[in-house]
Amino acid sequence: MFSLGGSCSYLNSSVYGVSKSLVQCTHSRVSPPSMAVVSLGSNNRQVDETAVSKQNASHIPSSSSSTAVEKDLKSSVCGGVEDVYGEDSATEDQYITPWTVTVASGYPLLRDPHYNKGLAFNGKERDAHFLRGLLPPVVISQDLQVKKMMRSMRQYQVPLQRYMAMMELQERNERLFYKLLIENVEELLPVVYTPTVGEACQKYGSIFRQPQGLFISLKEKGRILEVLKNWPEKKIQVIVVTDGERILGLGDLGCQGMGIPIGKLSLYTALGGIRPSACLPVTIDVGTNNEQLLNDEFYIGLRRKRATGQEYAELMEEFMSAVKQNYGEKVLIQFEDFANHNAFDLLSKYSSTHLVFNDDIQGTAAVVLSGLMASLNLVGGTLSEHTFLFLGAGEAGTGIAELIAIEMSKQTGAPLEETRKKIWLVDSKGLIVRSRMESLQHFKRPWAHEHEPVKNLLDAVKAIRPTVLIGSSGAGQTFTEEVVQAMSSYNKKPVILALSNPTSQSECTAEEAYKWSEGRAVFASGSPFGPVEYNGKVYVSGQANNAYVFPGLGLGLIISGAIRVHDDMLLAASEALAEQVSQENLDRGLIYPPFANIRKISAQIAARVAAKAYELGLATRLPPPENLVEYAESCMYSPNYRNYH
């Protein structure tokens, strides 16, 4: 009678005075189980809809205690709906047990995002899985579902509504969500990722419906391993974790930063082909210093100031140890949007014990270096013949600067201390120079070159005369007309990268870059801008965003079973990405390939990263596959529906 594809055990539970027989099953993911399963633990999919639970009571196999259930199911609420578990008749001061029933057939199958196919369930599946009558008669293809969803998405004028529609889809039908995203990546990336995800995080409390990801707060101190075990998936390969302190260029959004790990991991799947069930979004909630959120009645996090020092370090240490204990050595932990006073220390502390990677420092560096390599085809010269000026000397700025210096050093044989001298950075106090050394944070010190103090960016541009200007400040409108004009007065083709996200924080817009440089700028930005018409010519700018690299890098680490991330892997990723920029792209002024090809690009990046892991002796999956590109492609998750028997 039961085709559960896994093991079952019967549990007894007393739920608000009603004794129930529970069947606990671990079932196969390929073929959805076709009969009643009850779950109190973390091993099964859970459906928390009372109505569904009630409906499923009829599927529970009979046993002595199920007879008790029938006997005790006397109470009802108005309208003739049976109050099966006494939940409705319980007064507010009485306790009820939030038990849930999971059945991968009937309604619960339609409610399970991993298995649900909506109208695409065919006749056989509808018969086999008790779906008859639960769906209208029509059977449509997944392609038609995509077409329909895109049409409905395009009807929303407000970006946040699109974001919410996408999140709702992800929670309702995971494969359809990913098919939509993969097939319409250029249109939907700005919805699930920057810029819209930034607004979503700001308003996360107000738009919160279904919890996604794992929230680990100070309240869970001492119990993090237990919390990890609550997550329904066991085979985790990638964790993206934030503590919400530097969300894009929007600052401290506390617990509401959760939108970022969720967004990044949906790109791991859509762009890099990592299975969704292998991805775990985590937000560490240590409080927030954002007064507006602390006073917001809809704020979802701990209402306290951020923990710092030992309290913070201990929670992070417990998290990192618990992750290793629960998922092993080879789970990739991506640190995302931590403030720089923690980010560098966490990376250096855990890079020798865990497979960790900081996307803002390292992923951004790989993507920007790649764009610079490609831009040399437009502006000429070698990397070391250029001079670089950054606005912003934090994670992104110093991370990129260091990788450029490493690459220059590899190319020329000059020591790193020398190649760094071609790179200058400006922070909120002005140009970073030797006389400021004592007061500088450690990650800025390598960039404190000999120079007289310079107070602002414009003066720094005039003093340094860079060929490349990179914005990584999180401060919008800082590449002013004067700054862009100054860059254009020294360079035939100034390279201008406005990396800050979201769009509101971009150092300048694409239109401003082209207009103020009289169409000469080679421009790319962290958040996308549409094509710009200037003097009768259409300019298309690229998106200099770490999303080009982290999915492929992650895939490469996973397929090689890498145990550590190495700078040479970042360089390999940069090269692989730069090689994907075609002459046609360059002719249009693009220094990045279109996102439309991202899965092919990710496979190339993954192959190159994996090859580097093997070369460095950091790979554990042996022997290495013969053709790494083919192997990477073959490992990628496909969102197409599977047939159920």
Ligand X SMILES: NC(=O)C1=CN([C@@H]2O[C@H](COP(=O)(O)OP(=O)(O)OC[C@H]3O[C@@H](n4cnc5c(N)ncnc54)[C@H](OP(=O)(O)O)[C@@H]3O)[C@@H](O)[C@H]2O)C=CC1
Q: Is the dihedral of CA 609, 612, 614, 619 positive or negative?
A: negative
CB-based closest residue to ligand CC(=O)C(=O)O: 501
Question: Of 246-254, 286-294, 306-314, 403-411, which segment contacts ligand X by CB under 6 A?
Answer: 246-254
The DSSP element (H or E) to which 77 belongs, if any, is strand 76-77
Q: Are 285 and 215 in contact (CB under 8 A)?
A: yes
Tell whether residue 500 is a contact of ligand X (CB under 6 A).
yes
Query: Phi/psi at 476 (nearest 5 deg)?
Result: -75, 160
Residue with Cβ nearer ligand X (23 or 258): 258
Residue with Cβ nearer ligand X (472 or 604): 472
d(CA 611, CA 274) in angstroms, rounded, equals 18
Q: What is the DSSP string of 364-409?
A: HHHHHHHHHHHHHHHH-S-GGGS-EEEE--SHHHHHHHHHHHHHHH
Residue with Cβ nearer Mg ion (337 or 407): 337
Query: Phi/psi at 431 (nearest 5 deg)?
Result: -65, 140
Binding track, positions 393-412, relative to ligand X; x by CB under 6 A: xxxxx---------------
d(CA 362, CA 23) in angstroms, rounded, equals 47
d(CA 532, CA 518) in angstroms, rounded, equals 12
Residue with Cβ nearer ligand CC(=O)C(=O)O (287 or 392): 392
- Which is nearest to 85 in space by CA: 64, 102, 65, 99? 99
Among 102, 105, 364, 509, binds ligand X (CB under 6 A): 364
> Which are the contacts of 469, defined by CB distance < 8 A and separation ≥ 6?
389, 390, 391, 461, 479, 483, 487, 494, 495, 496, 497
Among 181, 499, 581, 611, binds ligand X (CB under 6 A): 499
336 is in an annotated binding site: yes
Q: Are 258 and 204 in contact (CB under 8 A)?
A: yes
E strand intervals along 231-358 = 238-242, 279-285, 332-335, 356-358
Which structure tokens are listed for 203?
């308003």
44 is in an annotated binding site: no
Residue with Cβ nearer ligand CC(=O)C(=O)O (194 or 196): 194
The DSSP element (H or E) to which 590 belongs, if any, is none
CB-based closest residue to ligand X: 394
Q: Which residues contribute to the site for ligand CC(=O)C(=O)O (CB under 6 A)?
A: 194, 248, 337, 359-360, 501, 526, 545-546
d(CA 477, CA 63) in angstroms, rounded, equals 69
Which structure tokens are listed for 107?
């309604």
Please give the residues from 321 up to 360 whose contact with ligand X meets the rule CB under 6 A: 340, 360
Active-site positions read: 193, 264
Q: Minimum distance between the CB of residue 208 and Mg ion, rounded to whole angstroms? A: 21
The site partner of 394 among Mg ion, ligand CC(=O)C(=O)O, ligand X, none (C-beta below 5 to 8 Å per kind) is ligand X
Binding track, positions 281-310, relative to ligand X; x by CB under 6 A: ------------------------------
Q: Minimum distance between the CB of residue 265 and Mg ion, rounded to whole angstroms? A: 13
The site partner of 645 among ligand X, Mg ion, ligand CC(=O)C(=O)O, none (C-beta below 5 to 8 Å per kind) is none
Q: What is the CA radius of gyration of the chain?
A: 27
The site partner of 478 among ligand X, Mg ion, ligand CC(=O)C(=O)O, none (C-beta below 5 to 8 Å per kind) is ligand X
337 is in an annotated binding site: yes
Tell whether residue 483 is a contact of ligand X (CB under 6 A).
no
Which structure tokens are listed for 616?
């460095």
Residue with Cβ nearer ligand CC(=O)C(=O)O (149 or 508): 508
d(CA 370, CA 572) in angstroms, rounded, equals 10
* Count, residues near ligand X per rule CB under 6 A: 31
Q: Minimum distance between the CB of residue 248 and ligand CC(=O)C(=O)O, rounded to whole angstroms? A: 4
Tell whether residue 473 is a contact of ligand X (CB under 6 A).
yes
The site partner of 60 among ligand X, ligand CC(=O)C(=O)O, Mg ion, none (C-beta below 5 to 8 Å per kind) is none
In the chain, DSSP finds a helix count (H) and a strand count (E) of 26, 20
DSSP, collapsed to helix, strand or coil, labels residue 583 as: helix
DSSP, collapsed to helix, strand or coil, labels residue 606 as: helix
Tell whether residue 273 is a contact of ligand X (CB under 6 A).
no
Residue with Cβ nearer ligand CC(=O)C(=O)O (170 or 546): 546
Among 100, 170, 362, 546, binds ligand X (CB under 6 A): 546
Report the 10 Å Cβ neighbour count for 290. Answer: 23
User: The tokens 């414009």 sit on which residue?
Assistant: 458
Question: Of 34-42, 59-67, 292-300, 539-547, which segment contacts ligand X by CB under 6 A?
Answer: 539-547
Tell whether residue 240 is a contact of ligand X (CB under 6 A).
no
246 is in an annotated binding site: yes
The site partner of 427 among ligand X, Mg ion, ligand CC(=O)C(=O)O, none (C-beta below 5 to 8 Å per kind) is ligand X
CA distances from 472 to 55, 199, 246, 390, 506 (A): 54, 19, 13, 7, 9
Residue with Cβ nearer Mg ion (399 or 589): 399
Q: Minimum distance between the CB of residue 504 and ligand CC(=O)C(=O)O, rounded to whole angstroms? A: 12
427 is in an annotated binding site: no
Beta pairing class for 238-242 and 522-525 = unpaired
Residue with Cβ nearer ligand X (528 or 561): 528
The site partner of 392 among ligand X, ligand CC(=O)C(=O)O, Mg ion, none (C-beta below 5 to 8 Å per kind) is ligand X
Q: Which residues pair with 524 in a beta bridge?
A: 497, 542
Query: Before 108, cis peptide (omega within 30)?
Result: no
User: The tokens 């554990």 sit on which residue?
Assistant: 620
Tell whether residue 448 is a contact of ligand X (CB under 6 A).
no
Which positions make up the binding site for a divalent metal cation? 336-337, 360
Which positions make up the binding site? 246, 336-337, 360, 501, 545
* Site of interaction with ligand X (CB under 6 A): 246, 248-249, 340, 360, 364, 367, 391-397, 426-429, 472-475, 478, 499-501, 505, 526, 544-546
